[in-house]
Structure 1
């Protein structure tokens, strides 16, 4: 990234994923990841820490695109 400041939008979102009935997965957002200036790492900001310790990181895509794919809501 050529910009000297941290991006305002995260490049990735952090989720706690729980399994529901009939194999459905429920994505609960728990944080976000911001890329380092040198693009070799991320700063992870968590608003919550899942009890089981598992965090899933996904690319931050526009909501309409996610809904069309049937992923996180």
Structure 2
């Protein structure tokens, strides 16, 4: 079993539209959830892309949370006590 919360999506699903000046615009259309046995995913879509392209990305909240956990913590000095 993974240490992830099974209710949280493993990935967010987006359709990508190419705009002017080589900019890409992401529109969230669903999410992907890992199976309990970790042998696959279920993709829950709320919309379908018109260009048949779906991009899966790790949810931003989880990335930001992981970054906070990875930051080295400053050790307390005698001055801080």
Distance of 1:63 and 1:36 partners within structure 2:
18
Runs of 4+ in 1 over 3 A off after TM superposition: none
Q: Which residue of 2 is the match for residue 55 of structure 1? A: 54
Identify the structure with bigger relative contact order (alpha carbons < 8 Å, sequence gap 6+): 1
> Which 5+ residue runs of structure 2 have no aligned equivalent?
65-81
Q: Where do 5+ consecutive residues of structure 1 fail to align?
A: 66-73
More strand by share: 1
TM-score (norm 2): 0.68
Could you tell me the TM-score, scaled by structure 1's length? 0.74
Size of the aligned set, in residue pairs, is 63
